[in-house]
Amino acid sequence: MERGRVTMDRNADAPWSKFDPEVYVDNNYRTPLEVDLLIVRLMRDYFSRSFASGVPNSVRGVDVGAGANLYPALSMLPWCEKVLLLEYARPNVAYLERQVSSGSYDTAWDAFWEELRGAPAYGAIEPRARFGEVARVERGNLFDLDGHRRWDIGTMFFVADSMSECPEEFHRGVRCFMNALSEGAPFAAAFMKESVGYRVGEHDYPAYRVNEDRVRESLEPFTGELEIHDLHHMVRPGHEGILLALGRRNSEIATP
């Protein structure tokens, strides 16, 4: 923090209308990073175990704050009748709508599907056709999730920790995500460890500094089981790694 600075950047202060999804994809996913491929494998195996005894009818999935990242949604494809891509920034909404409506998502995501298809449930489907059938995009704010809409599987990648410097907004974001999941729903959530913020194109975006203890503290009240993977991979300056949380939703409800 700059000397003498006393205010913190909140979610509403960030220049989300100027977020450049193409630059973000080019910087982070066009050439797959080993840490993302590792995350994909961990998610694939966890979700496969979660549905090993059978897939309930009408499973609905949600990717909260989907942004310009399709691999969380792809990880839910074998299990879901519907997958909602919830996103606030208008440029990201437009990017996601192009991926869904074009009939063929960007080839940047093929490498991630190659990792997913190593498990039988994924190898049994054609991802582009399935994605076009089940995915839809909705513009919405994480904070507006009120718990009345509930999903049976969910993902939240680099959202609660990467939208604000305020601890209250981080914890509220986690609560809103977890309250959107049905009891027993498997989930995956990823966080930048000790991030001091990030830059996309010409614009800077805030972050709340989290570590494994803070992530665990925020998630444990809502989980029936929880595993946190501390992945010691640096993908840009200004952070100390990535944390991946995998778990199942319990029956607790908390007020955002």
Q: At what angle do helices 90-101 and 21-28 cross, to 10 degrees?
A: 70
DSSP reduced 3-state for 43:
helix
Largest CA distance in the chain: 57
The radius of gyration of the chain from alpha carbons, rounded to an integer in Å, stands at 17
DSSP reduced 3-state for 211:
coil
State the alpha helices, DSSP H only, in 51-109.
Answer: 71-76, 90-101
Cβ distance 234 to 240 under 8 Å?
yes
> For 192-236, how does the pLDDT look when each residue is reduced to its tens digit (9 = 90+)?
887 776 677 888 878 889 999 999 999 999 998 999 999 976 667
Residue-level pLDDT at 160? 86
Sign of the alpha-carbon dihedral angle for 12, 13, 18, 24 = negative
Residue-level pLDDT at 254? 61
Q: What is the DSSP letter of 149?
A: S
Residue-level pLDDT at 19? 84
Q: Which domains does the chain show, CATH number per domain?
A: 11-249 (3.40.50.150)
Backbone dihedral region for residue 184 (phi beyond 0: left; psi -120 to 50: alpha; all else: beta): left
Residue-level pLDDT at 256? 47
Tens digit of each residue's pLDDT, the chain (256 residues): 444 344 557 776 677 788 899 998 999 999 999 999 999 999 999 999 999 988 777 899 999 999 999 999 999 999 999 999 999 999 999 999 999 997 789 999 999 999 999 999 999 999 999 999 999 999 999 998 867 779 999 999 998 888 888 889 999 999 999 999 999 999 999 998 877 766 778 888 788 899 999 999 999 999 989 999 999 766 677 667 899 999 999 987 665 4
Cβ distance 108 to 29 under 8 Å?
yes
Residue-level pLDDT at 3? 42
DSSP per-residue codes, 41-97: HHHHHHHHHHTTT---TT-EEEEET-TT--HHHHHHGGG-SEEEEEE-SHHHHHHHH
DSSP reduced 3-state for 143:
helix
